[in-house]
Amino acid sequence: MKKNNIVLIGMPASGKSTVGVILAKILGYNFVDADIVIQEKEGRKLSEIIETEGVDGFIEIENKINTGIEVEKTVIATGGSVVYGKEAMEHYKNIGKVVYLKVDMDVLTKRLNDVKQRGVVMKDGQSLVSLYNERSSLYEKYADITIDEKRNTMEEVVADLLARL
């Protein structure tokens, strides 16, 4: 397996799917949304998996499915919780460059309206701020490239990423 994929990680609503589609078109790559792969393989929505299996059960399923994604010349948009799966992240580091799309907390709050419906993996009683703080260090740990979105448009984010690849 060649290391010619681009794997996007970051918080929910950081633009992984949007940036991923644009990037794939520009590079002539395929595009895979890992959350959709999980939904297809499980036959249910992410929110239903989380509701039925709980947070730990979902993370186990997510880790297993992400570890099994075998592609080449593909931009992969992962779910925000993928960084909890050590095996999945090692797999992604082996098959591509891992790019962390970093977004500020205030921007994230504006973008994320309904956390539950979106299928965001959060422990009971956990706030978005504590989730952000918990995951940020994991994103930084696994990232080969970090793109700070600041207040840029998606096109500016993609241009910045292309310049750094």
48 vs 46: CA distance, rounded Å: 5
Which segments of 29-73 are extended strands (E)?
30-33
Question: If you count DSSP H runs as helices and E runs as strands, how many of each does the chain have, helices first?
Answer: 8, 5
83 vs 143: CA distance, rounded Å: 10
SS3 94: helix
Q: Which domains are seen in the chain, by residue range? A: 5-154 (3.40.50.300)
What global pTM score does this model have? 0.94
Q: Is 126's pLDDT higher than 70? A: yes
For residue 147, what pLDDT band results from cuts at 50, 70 and 90? very high
Determine contact, residues 74/33, Cβ cutoff 8 Å: no
pLDDT at 98: 97
Listing DSSP states for 102-114 in one string gives E--HHHHHHH-S-
User: Listing from the earlier edge strand, what are the strands of the sheet with 74-77?
Assistant: 30-33, 74-77, 5-9, 96-102, 145-148
Q: Is 116's pLDDT higher than 60? A: no
- Other CB atoms within a 10 A radius of the CB of residue 148 amount to 12
* pLDDT tens per residue across span 44-94: 999 899 999 999 999 999 999 999 999 999 999 999 999 999 999 999 999
